[in-house]
Structure 1
Amino acid sequence: MTPMKEDYLKIIFELGGTKKKITNKQISLSLNVAAGSVTEMVSKLVKEELASHTPYAGISLTPKGIEVAEQLVRRHRLWEVFLYDKLEYKLADVHDDAEILEHTTSDRLMNHLDVFLNYPTHCPHGGVIPSADGKYQEDSHLVLADVTDGQEVVVERFIDNHDLLTYLDDLKLKIGDRLKVIAHQPFEGPVKIRLISDQQEMNVSFKAAHYIFVK
């Protein structure tokens, strides 16, 4: 399986494709690839019975695709925990090296790494880590962009994207922060939020607001 195909399976998993239909646009935004490339890859995943596609509704993972995605996510995120906690990588920098390591790791090494890290349940950017037997608690799939004005939410996780994590680090927005959505600016403008802890207000870009999951 090619690394690009694996990236598609992982992002469909992360966006909630085990339980609901994910649009091509969501995948395109998250992977920063052209819409035509998404259509082509989705066709390949469907042909290999890793995903199912309903026209005008979206794509979801099949049981076979879910099993493959869970193993890919487990490998990737365990390495992210190791790099972040043990080697003190910056959060924005863990993805690329974890991507390399996950493709060269045996099941035996993965299980030993899991034990060494004391069976972590989530990676540094908040994503769930499936256990060796495929058990995990489902993440929230509500994104900040879809929260109604006036509602209070807690930041649960971020999409694993270097530019996004660098941007959020500059904003000082962290996992676990409680915030109130003040207003959605029109014409794909930013989302204005207020942190509950210190009442600080900030604007989160339209694109970033689609990468921040809350509950």
Structure 2
Amino acid sequence: MQEITGHELSAKKAEYLKYIHMQGGTAKTSEIATHFSVAPSTVTKALTEIAKAGYLEHSPYHGVKLTPRGGDYARFLIRRHRIVALVLSRHGLEPDEACREAKKIEQYFSKDLTDRMCTSLGHPMMSVCGEIEHDHCCCPSSDGRR
């Protein structure tokens, strides 16, 4: 499997992937379009491109399902967002503001930088916007592997 860098998808496509993950790994095109206030045709085009990249299985008129690769990437994207928001909150931003500002800048943070920030924060379990997962990242697992 290809190593995650953190720059595989555009910011909007990354938001779609995170949303699908938060919906249990599946979603209908119309639900995504409604959530993001965009035309279904816009979502369909983006989902087709995300599927071609191997992150989704897309069935026209039925919706999408994350692939294992897509699930891994979505978990990384959510983890990155929460770590960036936590850093911002520790520098004076209110929780809601930290979450909004993180969304604006998170796509510029590589996986390496995200992992380094996580380490410097002591591998936190909670951010201002939710729990931080540490599977397959910079944090050693219980058996000492990363």
**TM class by shorter-chain length?**
0.7 to 0.9
Give the match for residue 129 of structure 1: 132
Aligned partner letter, 1:91: P
Aligned partner letter, 1:8: Y
The number of residue pairs the alignment matches comes to: 129
TM superposition shift of 1:106 = 3.7
Cα 1:90/1:65, change in 2 over 3 Å: same
Q: Which of the pair is proportionally richer in helix?
A: 2
TM superposition shift of 1:30 = 2.4
Mapped partners of 1:26, 1:91: distance in 2: 27
TM-score, normalised via structure 2 length: 0.73
Mapped partners of 1:132, 1:111: distance in 2: 12
Mapped partners of 1:119, 1:62: distance in 2: 27
Higher relative contact order (CA 8 A, sep 6+): 2
RMSD after superposition? 2.2
Structure 2, unmatched stretches of 5+, are 1-8, 138-146
The answer on whether the counterparts of 1:28 and 1:35 sit within 8 Å (CA) in structure 2 is yes
Q: Which of the pair is proportionally richer in strand?
A: 1
Aligned partner letter, 2:133: P
Mapped partners of 1:53, 1:108: distance in 2: 30
Mapped partners of 2:51, 2:115: distance in 1: 30
TM superposition shift of 1:55 = 4.5
TM superposition shift of 1:28 = 1.9
TM superposition shift of 1:42 = 1.4
Identity among equivalent positions (%) equals 28
TM superposition shift of 1:76 = 1.2
Aligned partner letter, 2:86: V
Aligned partner letter, 1:26: E
Instruction: State which structure, 1 or 2, has the greater radius of gyration over its C-alpha atoms.
Output: 1
Mapped partners of 1:92, 1:83: distance in 2: 11
